[in-house]
Structure 1
Amino acid sequence: MSDTADSPTPPLVSVRGETVLEVEPEIARLTVYVHARDKDRRRALERLTERNRECLDLIGEYGDAVEQVETSGLSISPIVRDKRRDEKVDRYQGTVHTTVTVAEFSVLGEIVTRLGDLELTSVHGPWWALRRDSDVYRRAAQQAVRAAVTRATDYADALGCRLTGLVRLSDEGLSTDGGGREQVYGMVAAAVPASSSGALPAIDLEPQKQVVRAAVEARFTMTAPEL
């Protein structure tokens, strides 16, 4: 019989390593709603097109400070005066939804204020976030692994042992908290008193910290304890 078959199973230690990082957000997202309504369907569409173009032109003025602009939805629908009696259309109304991702926070308050000052335009946000490929996630995962190794080493030391190998490393995943609370601007922004130059003052916005959590489970082999 081989020596391997007679070898005792090495002691195991199972631990959980976790880390929590609190970092500044990297981007902010806004949702812009442009509205139009008119008794004439064609005129409602023309107004919607004109206002949406004005909105996009304004956003375009900020160049690279705006990372991404996406049309996330559009609707045009008739409004019936009294559905119970007939199908007579009272008016038509349309809405364009645009999602704006801002990377330069120094202009964010100005963008929100100027968009909110446009006719029949509302702004929702900001929602603060990290980019999907943010290095913060890698850092959090590595720190969670280091925490697992440290904890296992501490347990081994307490028993007079030392770690000899890794049996299993399981990732519990990453999660991010922060930026979920909605702040709404829009028509109310037009009520902000104008400055002496006639331009609306920019709204002061403070970025919300992002909390990134990472956790792993690890199992190590170790030498026999000295009990």
Structure 2
Amino acid sequence: MTSISTGPDAPAQEPASGPHSYGTPEVPKLMVKGEAEFETDPETARLSVTVSSRGPDRRGALEDLNRRNSQVLDLTREYGEAVEKVETGSLTVRPELSDRGRKERVRAHLGTVRLTVTVQDFTVLGELTGRLADLELTTVNGPWWGLRPRSAAHREARQLAVREAVSRGRELAEALGSELTALLELTDTGGGGTSPPPPPAPGMTRSAYAGAPEPAPAFDLEPQRQTVTARVSARFAISPPRL
């Protein structure tokens, strides 16, 4: 978007802040937008891990749930700083009622714990994903790739957008035989890193079974490139054009 204003009949989207907020023939004003967009490698990968338990006895179901939750935490700790953080999202324990009979009868007790595992070293991601999926009654979804909120990529995108706004303003001013004389306003109008939302996939689950476990497979996971965008709006004062 580009607009040039030199009088009181300028477009209404320019908010008035003084008697000559839209510019004058002697000091016209020019408004431009700058945008930047590029792709970069992700910085983190998130895994959604759900551990479950089911049993006729509430205490037994709780003990199984606690044990399986501890197995997930112990496994992630083995990877040290490669795992940036592990967060518990929710814990649910509820009775499962029988459909038969008029009385409410508890058929079983169900429990789930949901965790989010954030990995910053992708060299261990495939192995960790396989080992988590190999745990008893554990479901794994992901990975979901992303950038950190304070990533240098966001700063680079904003700087590129500002340079684009200045360059565009100069081009338009030169087309009028004018030049930029002052920056009056600069606004960050949005942007950021984008990645597809987590799909409602069933994930990988291992059921409880007896027998000697085999080594868990290590998955070959390729990081998904992230699109980073930034947008700014700038308003400049320009010298009187030569029309």
Q: TM-score normalised to the size of structure 2?
A: 0.83
Aligned residues: 216
- Please, which of 229, 232, 236 is the counterpart of residue 213 of structure 1? 229
Q: Distance in 2 between matches of 1:49 and 1:144?
A: 50
Q: Distance in 2 between matches of 1:217 and 1:82?
A: 62
In structure 1, the residue corresponding to 2:217 is in which secondary structure? coil
Q: Structure 1 regions of 5+ residues with no counterpart?
A: 191-196
Residues 125 and 184 (structure 1), Cα distance of their counterparts in 2 relative to 1, 3 Å cut: farther
In structure 1, the residue corresponding to 2:124 is in which secondary structure? helix
Q: Distance in 1 between matches of 2:142 and 2:83?
A: 15
Aligned to 2:176: 159
Is contact 1:81-1:89 (8 Å) kept?
A: yes
CA RMSD of aligned residues (A): 2.2
Aligned to 2:204: 186
Identical aligned residues as a percent = 48
Residues 204 and 184 (structure 1), Cα distance of their counterparts in 2 relative to 1, 3 Å cut: farther
How far is the alpha carbon of 1:201 from its aligned partner?
2.5
Aligned to 2:15: none
More helix by share: 1
Aligned to 2:58: 41
Q: Distance in 2 between matches of 1:189 and 1:144?
A: 51
Residues 112 and 61 (structure 1), Cα distance of their counterparts in 2 relative to 1, 3 Å cut: same
Aligned to 2:43: 26
Q: Equivalences for 1:127-146 in 2 at 5 Å?
A: 127-146=144-163
- Please, which of 105, 109, 116 is the counterpart of residue 122 of structure 2? 105
Q: Distance in 2 between matches of 1:114 and 1:27?
A: 19
Q: Distance in 2 between matches of 1:135 and 1:104?
A: 18
Q: TM-score normalised to the size of structure 1?
A: 0.89
Q: Structure 2 regions of 5+ residues with no counterpart?
A: 1-19
Aligned to 2:10: none
In structure 2, the residue corresponding to 1:54 is in which secondary structure? helix
Q: Distance in 1 between matches of 2:48 and 2:118?
A: 9
How far is the alpha carbon of 1:24 from its aligned partner?
0.7
How far is the alpha carbon of 1:127 from its aligned partner?
1.0
- Please, which of 3, 6, 16 is the counterpart of residue 33 of structure 2? 16
